[in-house]
């Protein structure tokens, strides 16, 4: 493994070549200089603003989205709303269409669709403010009881689920089922 450390603002006692390897932010041009681009997976980790530039740069030069993996920390969101859902759709676990989502305690019903993202994003768009922390299935803060229906996970969560689902990384199971009413939706205790 090769490590390349960049400082955006080195201190006066930091020595180039010893403490760090370059000055400035890592950009797609820096990555192109350092890596012989080939058939690779890319892993990004950090707050979303830190990861957005390399994500956009990699997709901009033709790296397929499924080859770019990322994990947010802090109270961030996914880099591209719907990208994680698109990955689930490609695997055949979900599809087109809408699914009703009922938030029982709030007496609110919303429609989930692929473009609306996770169930957390649907809840927020409906005016609810569920607790969340990581938005990536790590912390478990958004654990919510499901009273009917089922969900698929966009990414397998790391947080324990017990009887709850994690809003931040789930969508209705079987989304995109035929329009004959085969998918009655999801009811959440929220």
In the chain, list all ranges with CATH 3.40.50.80: 6-76
Handedness of CA 23, 27, 30, 31 (dihedral sign): positive
Q: Domain 88-188 falls in which CATH fold?
A: Ubiquitin-like (UB roll) (3.10.20)
**Domain 6-76 falls under CATH 3.40.50.80:** yes
pLDDT (tens, 9 = 90+) of the chain, 190 residues, equals 788 999 989 999 999 999 999 998 888 888 888 887 777 888 888 777 678 888 888 988 888 888 888 776 654 445 554 555 554 444 444 455 789 999 999 999 999 988 888 999 999 999 999 998 878 788 889 999 999 998 988 877 877 777 789 999 899 986 545 444 556 789 999 9
pLDDT score recorded for residue 98: 87
HEC secondary structure over 70-134: EEECCCCCCCCCCHHHHHHHHCCCCCCCEEEEEECCCCEEEEEEHHHCCHHHHHHHCCCCCCCCC
Handedness of CA 135, 141, 144, 150 (dihedral sign): positive
Q: What is the pTM of this model?
A: 0.55
**Does residue 93 contact residue 114 with C-beta atoms inside 8 Å?**
no
Q: Is 175 helix (H, G, I), strand (E, B) or coil?
A: coil
**Does residue 34 contact residue 51 with C-beta atoms inside 8 Å?**
no
């Amino acid at each position: 493994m090769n490590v390349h450390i960049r400082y955006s603002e080195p201190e006066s006692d930091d020595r180039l070549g010893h403490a760090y390897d370059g000055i400035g932010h890592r950009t797609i041009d820096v990555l192109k200089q350092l890596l012989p681009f080939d058939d690779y997976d890319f892993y990004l980790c950090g707050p979303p603003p830190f990861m957005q530039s390399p994500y956009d740069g990699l997709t901009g030069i033709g790296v397929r989205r499924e080859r770019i993996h990322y994990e947010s920390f802090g109270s961030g969101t996914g880099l591209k709303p719907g990208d994680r859902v698109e990955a689930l759709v490609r695997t055949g676990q979900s599809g087109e269409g809408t699914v009703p989502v009922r938030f029982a305690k709030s007496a609110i019903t919303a429609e989930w669709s692929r473009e609306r993202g996770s169930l957390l994003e649907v809840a927020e768009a409906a005016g609810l403010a569920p607790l969340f922390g990581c938005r990536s299935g790590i912390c478990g803060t958004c654990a919510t009881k499901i009273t009917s229906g089922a969900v698929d996970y966009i990414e397998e969560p790391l947080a324990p689920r017990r009887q709850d689902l994690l809003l931040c990384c789930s969508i209705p199971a079987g989304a995109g089922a035929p329009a004959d009413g085969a998918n009655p939706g999801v009811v959440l205790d929220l």
